[in-house]
Amino acid sequence: MYTLIFNGSPRRAGDTSALIQAFCREIQGQVEQIDAYRSTLSPCVDCRRCAGGGGCVINDGMQEIYEKVEKAQVLVLASPLYFSTLTGPLLSLCSRFQALYMARRNQGSGWEQTKGGLVLLTGGGSTKDPSCAFRTSRIILREMGAGEIRQVASIGTDHLPAGEDEEALGQAVAAAREFNTLFA
């Protein structure tokens, strides 16, 4: 089983990282993490080349990531809430998935949606309802082929850090166990 995690937090040992670690302690197989804040990938510029079947015009490390997305059984989007949605660098990186979406659409096949997907969110507490970010994340994960999508949020980290939020940590572990059963 191969799991690919996209981390949208700038903080190496922050709240989002605590949820990722809980998941990683339990998930089986190979796990790789891509940190949006430490990536030099360009955002999509909507040049429309991929819409015409030509693939992505931007020749950077994203081509390698496309291959990893294709081979992954489990995809994870993890992010703190910034203004109720995913952080800018993570959204910027995800904009490049448009080329994958267009490739599928041009084949007329669509995604098979056979992968597992997981959304891990953290929020200080100004957002009481993380549904906006969950919705955005699910759209992105579906575009990358995830059918079974689970979601976990630790909201209120200003008062209870995600690393001490037993409920959210437990849900991250439960998602890993479920994917182990489904995909290992």
Ligand X SMILES: Cc1cc2nc3c(=O)[nH]c(=O)nc-3n(C[C@H](O)[C@H](O)[C@H](O)COP(=O)(O)O)c2cc1C
Residue type for position 54 = G
Residue of 3, 5, 6, 16 interacting with ligand X (CB under 6 A): 16
| Interacting residues with ligand X between 143 and 182 (CB under 6 A) | 157
What is residue 138's DSSP assignment? H
Note whether 38 binds ligand X by CB under 6 A.
no
Single out the residue of 29, 125, 147, 170 in contact with ligand X (rule: CB under 6 A): 125
Q: How far is the CB of 68 from ligand X (least distance, A)?
A: 23
DSSP track, 9-74: -S-TTSHHHHHHHHHHHH--SEEEEEEGGG--PPPP---STGGGT---S--STHHHHHHHHHH-SE
> Which residues, other chains included, contact 66 with Cβ-Cβ below 8 Å and sequence gap of 6+?
56, 99, 100
Which of 19, 74 has the CB closer to ligand X? 19
Minimum distance between the CB of residue 36 and ligand X, rounded to whole angstroms?
11
Residue of 126, 135, 167, 170 interacting with ligand X (CB under 6 A)? 126
Helices 98-107 and 62-71, axial angle in degrees (round to 10): 60
Does position 81 interact with ligand X (CB under 6 A)? The reply is yes
Chosen residue from 3, 9, 39, 73 binding ligand X by CB under 6 A: 9
The contact set with ligand X (CB under 6 A) reads: 9, 11, 14-17, 80-84, 122-127, 157
